[in-house]
Amino acid sequence: MSMLVSNDVGISGSKHKNEYYVDPVALRNEIRIYKQNKEQDKNCTLHEELAVMVMKIAIRFTSRPCHSGYSFRQDFIMEATEKMCKAVDKIDPDDPRSPFSYLTQTCFRSVIQYIKKEKRHEQGKQIVKEHIYNELSQIYGLQDKHNPNLDQEQSDDQVIDQPTEKDELDADI
């Protein structure tokens, strides 16, 4: 990766110690070059320097402590990079607002969307697991692992429904 990264693509070696630092001014210049190429050729793709910058933003953003506990960090990076590559087309390099902040916000939103998608997926898996467990417990008469006293409560209900000696004596009177 060191061959792809140089001072030409927004890395200031001595100024910033972080290897994933992207200079916002260099990012704006790369977007400007991409837009000029896009005007000439509508099927133009991101050139390597801009793609590396976008990837660095995604890697740096997903390395934050609030995202460190997730096991699917690589998926975060892929999803965020894809969304940011699509968002580059919407950026106006002459706009005074920072394209770096726009791409960072795009990265943030894509990570949040991915987390929500994974939670929905995990909930679906949990529902299926519970359904399978309930089916198997009915077939094999297994005790409910979430409520082990459930079988005891059912047997208490059965005892209550049966008439006792006192009920029989009351019935004779």
The domain ranges of the chain are 7-172
In this structure, the chain runs to a length of: 173
Residue partners of 16: CB distance under 8 A and separation at least 6: none
Question: What is the value of pTM for the model shown?
Answer: 0.63
Q: 29-70 pLDDT, tens per residue?
A: 999 999 998 888 888 888 899 999 999 999 989 888 887 778
HSE of 86, CA atoms in CB hemisphere, 13 A: 8
Rounded Cα distance between 103 and 54, Å, is 8
